[in-house]
Amino acid sequence: MNRDDETSAIPTGDPFVTFDAWFAEAQAAEPNDPNAMALATATPAGAPSVRMVLLKGHGPDGFVFYTNAHSRKGGEIRANMQAALLFHWKSLRRQIRIEGPLEEVSAGMADAYFHSRPRVSQLASAASDQSRPLADRGDYYARLAEVEARFPEGSVIERPSHWTGFRLAPTAIEFWLDRPGRMHDRRRFERQGEGWSSTLLYP
């Protein structure tokens, strides 16, 4: 059987260093949204759901995204503060799975990110009852017009209290690297106190 390499190409050290390296390569190679990630949540009864969100910050303390906490995912998060993330970079043939508990970011951090967004995005978020039934698109546009009237051009748009961010603090990170013949390279890291242990996994 043909083998392209006998050893793992995934470093055994700090998984955040490897994440940073892979993420930088994705930012250079992916044509669209290299920070897109699948976010998996579950209801208190254990029913899963998944959707794409955008990574908006990361570091040793975790991975940050923002959302409407009144949405379906927001409700699931508030009821069960555990989640999983998946990055899949098709152009690089790599993926990273991340698991762990969630915590809400500070109001100051949510304010700072909300006001860094384009004005139209701030208005759209303030007007939306995300995930809730909408009888007609015109109803949403009417609400958007109301918000625009409340916050005229040049004024500061107030961040809705239910629009916030969450940080996933990883307890496990798994790297997957495609190889020919389905002989993929997989390494899983698990948090051990202040450090990490890692092991290779069968493809």
> CA-based angle 140:143:146, to the nearest 5?
155
**182 classed as catalytic:** yes
**Residue 173: is it exposed, middle or buried by C-beta count within 10 angstroms (0-12/13-18/19+)?**
buried
Among the listed residues 190, 121, 193, the one whose alpha carbon sits nearest the alpha carbon of residue 160: 121
3-class DSSP assignment, residue 180: helix
> CA-based angle 178:179:180, to the nearest 5?
130
3-class DSSP assignment, residue 187: strand
Among the listed residues 18, 16, 88, 22, the one whose alpha carbon sits nearest the alpha carbon of residue 50: 88
Catalytic-labelled residue, pool 97, 132, 150, 182: 182
- Catalytic residue numbers read 182
